[in-house]
Structure 1
Amino acid sequence: MEDYRRIADSVAADIAAGRLRPGERLPAQRSFARRHRIANSTAARVYGELARRGLVTGEVGRGTFVRAPAAEPALADPGGAPVDLQLNFSVLPEQAALLSAGLAAVLRPDVLADALRAGGVTGTAGARSAAAELLARTGWWPEPERILFTGNGKQALAAAIAALVPVGGRLGVEALTYPVVRTIAGRLGVSLVPLEMDEHGVLPGALRASGLRAVYLQPALHNPLGVTMPAARRAEVVAVLEELDVSVVEDGVYTFLSDEAPLAALAPDRTVFVDSLSKRIAPGLTLGFAVPPAGWTDRIAAAVRGGGWTAPRFAVDVAAHHISDGTAAVIQQAKRADAAARQAIAADRLTGFAVRADPRAYHCWWELPPPWRADMFVAAAAREGIAVTPAAAFAVGTAPNAVRLALASPPPERLSAALDVLAGIARGTPELGA
């Protein structure tokens, strides 16, 4: 085993035995290297290995700290936590009744016979037309013949990345990004390159990073920041991508809550637009969409088939019915109102804190007050039965001192109460919350 891993094992043993406690700061890497009589580069590898194991977290300008055990930096099932502000799926009380009519139509014997046939990545003509209607935005109407179907949105992202970036290639992503993209990239052998952001999204100049084969961006209601690129920034981003001849995978999973034209409208020849039904309708009705540029359809379709990501015909037909009969549009409008109401609750309960949020989004970004650090805050919230997500889950590189709050899942009254508890924790100190 390499020397750096043996040293990492020793530090991990100290953490497990309690000799290094959650929140304790590790020495600067140069000091660590001198203490262990190793090269600075080896010390960097030790710290990187500890971070990979989820044992430490780095914070900008502050150093490296031992993580609290409850603060695993990944989006996961919060394990039955009473209040889930970690996973962001909205299911409205009236949805079941609205959706049942569409299901009844599909369950007619003659319709069901077709729905039970083997599916294909291109679906049916009717399904493609329905999907085009669903995905259409201001200034953009996707051509139905270019729409491809996958089992869910994650599979659509994986297919797009697999088709655009070879093994060992470099994919540019926002410095804070959707955590699943990190997992996808790891499985595909793709290296992620963090791209600097500001309050408007990715900086156009950051796209000039060396050797990028493609970029993955969330222009609308960015997860986790809630940022929506203004029109001027979108134009700048597209201009740089055109200049560099770089392709883009555009994640439109939250576009149903906004009205801006996608990058696909500005750069149709280099954008693969990806979306899904899990946020728009319900997590139990999964279906992904990929809309590649003209001439790329076969390329993306081959990646879908190669990954085994083709959508079941039944899911495609059910979705087409929900779109065609207007149910999907009704649910979308109801969710817009629901998201706005939940943002109003968050704004009221977290007044005075550094919370960033788009009033249309189902999530917000909380830059924690000192002396709180994200991992300690997550652990304190968990002790109160509230699951939140630390910034480390989204960071490609060093994580800021913040958490994301997903507002979609709890009933409004429980959301309000949970936010009151979190505000109380933040007004205290880590010692009091321990």
Structure 2
Amino acid sequence: MDFRTVADAVAADIASGRLRPGDRLPTQRDFARAHGIANSTATRVYAELTRRGLVVGEVGRGTYVRAATPRPFALAEPTTAAVDLELSVPAVPEQFPLLADGMSRMLRPDVLRDALRPVGAAGTPEAREAAAGVLARAGWAPEPDRVLFTGTGRQALAAAVAALVPPGGRLGVEDLTYPAARAIATRVGATLVPLGMDTEGLRPDALAEAHRSARLHAVYVQPTLHNPLSVTLPYQRRLELAQVTGTLGIPIIEDAVWSHLATDPGPPLAAFAPHHTVLIDSLSKRVAPGLTLGFAVAPASGADAVAHAIRSGAWTAPRFALETALGWMRDGTVRSIEAAKRTDARARQAAVADLLAGFRIRTAPEASMCWWDLPEPWRADTFVAAAARRGIAVTPGAAFAVRATAAPNAVRLGLASPPPDVLARAVATLAALARSAPDDEAIG
């Protein structure tokens, strides 16, 4: 019997309601026996149902019927939910007067005239100098001549991937990774290779093993306040990763967009591996996503390739954004806002820790998100649906899982966007929901 025919029959059972959201499917061996098919055919049936988005596999738990047709989480957009805990966009009241003061200079005709002219990937000498100061930390600072500019951090990431990974090439990523990285890899035709993690983050031995299996053209890693787990690689782990990648000749793409929230982030990987690391960052989380700027700090050996990717992708930063950001970087506005956002993040984390006491939460005191391993008998997709019925949007763990058949039974909460009182009420509602049973009303 053709596996698609069997998959169609299961899909019909899901559509008719005979198989309900949250129902667990039999093991593949039991499924094969019940349908009189080979085990290999059952494996293909389950893979096809996963591909169609009808079921989700959870590590060590089995395969479950999804609560609803999954939304595309690769590039999250603001939702229509009353409370959006999908996006995590930090904003503090004191940033707006500071930003307004800094923008007033842009209204001068002579400044505006220059700001409306085109600019290349290298920006201007003044902008490179200012950006190098903003990106500096823990005794490390990039050489200004190595700084390139894009419109956003995602564009900087896309340029780095396009420059380092050829179509069909292999890009190593952490087992749970930033969803936009997955979408970007697909766009450039790269194959994602999931790499094992532990409590300290990406494992160097997993990286080396994957490379021995087949060459990795680059590795994408989030060393500081990893999204979604908020893990920060310790000093020794960074050193080990730099040594392994240097020995094996694997370029690093280092995503540092959340590092400004860390009280003591330590040196970036670019400090340990300056000759084969492209560090990317942006002002989106530091300042505001509505008028942002992306950075790519490329080594001398890769700068031309990254700059070419920026130009060919039409990812060059608009000069108006560049000049506006230059003023904010020079006058201390960026540093002031960073400090305020660190204070805000700690206050939100403290409040959420109280509200979710007793649950298994993974986060950091200064992170703007938390990872919630859900209690039994909840499934991630049914919990997301139940939260949506209460006007709260959260992200299922499957959005971050590189292995589609190994979705964790967890959700990520973005803590930065709602006002603190709204956040507290929403998290209290979710905590009460998690303590209840996933009844028919909850899962629809």
TM-score range (shorter-chain normalised) is over 0.9
- How far apart, in 2, do the equivalents of 1:248 and 1:137 lie? 19
**Mapping for residues 349-360 of structure 1, pairs under 5 Å:** 349-360=355-366
Q: What TM-score do the two structures reach when normalised by structure 2?
A: 0.93
Residue 310 of structure 2 aligns to a residue whose secondary structure is helix
Deviates more, 1:336-345 or 1:378-387: 378-387
Q: Counterpart of 1:143?
A: 143
Within-5 A mapping of 1:75-154: 76-77=76-77, 79-154=79-154
Show structure 1 runs of 5+ residues with no match: none
Show the counterpart of 1:248. 252
Shift of the alpha carbon at 1:8?
Answer: 3.7
CA distance in structure 2 between the partners assigned to 1:186 and 1:40 by the alignment: 30
Cα distance change on mapping 1:37 and 1:285 into 2, 3 Å: farther
Quick check: 1:15 aligned with 2:21? no
Q: 1 CA distance for matches of 2:164 and 2:77?
A: 30
Name the residue aligned to 2:348: 342
Residues 78 and 149 (structure 1), Cα distance of their counterparts in 2 relative to 1, 3 Å cut: closer
Letter in 2 for 1:195: L
Secondary structure of 1:318's match?
helix
Distance 1:381 1:269 in 2: 46
Q: Which residue of 1 aligns with 2:309?
A: 303
Partners of 1:214 and 1:246 within 8 A in 2: yes
3-state secondary structure, aligned to 2:192: strand
Which amino acid is the alignment partner of residue 88 of structure 1? S
The CA deviation at 1:308 is 1.5
Quote the Cα distance in structure 1 between the aligned partners of 2:25 and 2:185.
Answer: 29
Deviates further, 88-97 or 363-372: 88-97
Mapping 1:398-409, distance limit 5 Å: 398-409=406-417
User: Which residue of structure 2 lines up, in the alignment, with residue 200 of structure 1?
Assistant: 200
Residue 345 of structure 1 aligns to a residue whose secondary structure is helix
The question of whether the paired residues in 1 share the 8 Å contact of 2:218 and 2:252 is answered with yes
SS in 2 for 1:148: strand
Matched, 1:174 2:174: yes
Contact 2:54 2:69 in 1 (8 A): no
AA aligned to 2:220 is Y
What amino acid sits opposite 1:309 in the alignment? W
- Identify the range of structure 1 (33-42 vs 404-413) with the bigger mean alpha-carbon deviation: 33-42
What per-residue deviation string (whole Å, max 9, x for no partner) do you get for residues 248-274 of structure 1?
Answer: 100001011123210000000110000
Count of aligned pairs between the two proteins: 433
Amino acid at match of 1:140: W
How far did residue 77 of structure 1 move?
A: 3.0
Give the deviation of 1:37 after TM superposition.
5.5
For residues 299-355 of structure 1, give each alpha carbon's deviation from its aligned partner in whole angstroms, at most 9, with x where no partner exists: 110111121211111111111111111111111110010101100111111111111
Q: In the TM superposition, what is the alpha-carbon distance from 1:41 to its structure 2 partner?
A: 4.1
Asked if the contact 2:53/2:69 (under 8 Å) is kept, the reply is no
Q: Are 2:292 and 2:325, in contact at CA under 8 Å, matched by a contact in 1?
A: no
Matched, 1:212 2:216: yes
CA–CA distance in structure 2, aligned partners of residues 78 and 9 of structure 1:
34
Q: Secondary structure at the match of 1:370?
A: coil
**Quick one: structure 1 residues 66 and 73, their matched pair in 2 at CA, closer, same or farther if it must change by over 3 Å?**
farther
Taking the aligned partners of 1:317 and 1:77, their CA distance within structure 2 comes to 27
Among 417, 421, 424, the alignment partner of 2:425 is: 417
Q: Hey, what's the Cα distance between the residues in 1 that align with 2:319 and 2:2?
A: 52
AA aligned opposite 1:58: G
Residue 313 to residue 337, structure 1, CA distance change in 2 (3 Å): same
Q: 2:270 aligns with which of 237, 258, 264?
A: 264
The code of the aligned residue for 1:47 comes to Y
Tell me the residue number matched to 1:183.
Answer: 183
Letter in 1 for 2:147: I
Deviation for aligned residue 1:174: 0.4
What does residue 316 of structure 1 align with? 322
CA distance in 2, matches of 1:157, 1:361: 21
TM-score normalised according to structure 1 size: 0.95
Shift, 1:14, TM fit:
2.9
Q: Distance in 2 between matches of 1:191 and 1:49?
A: 19
1:227 & 1:148 partners in 2: Cα distance? 27
8 A contact 2:228–2:370 mirrored in 1: yes
Partner of 2:227: 223
Structure 1 285/8 Cα, relative in aligned 2: closer, same or farther at 3 Å? farther
Identity %: 62
3-state SS of paired residue (2:217): strand
CA distance 1:122–1:6, change in 2 (3 Å): farther
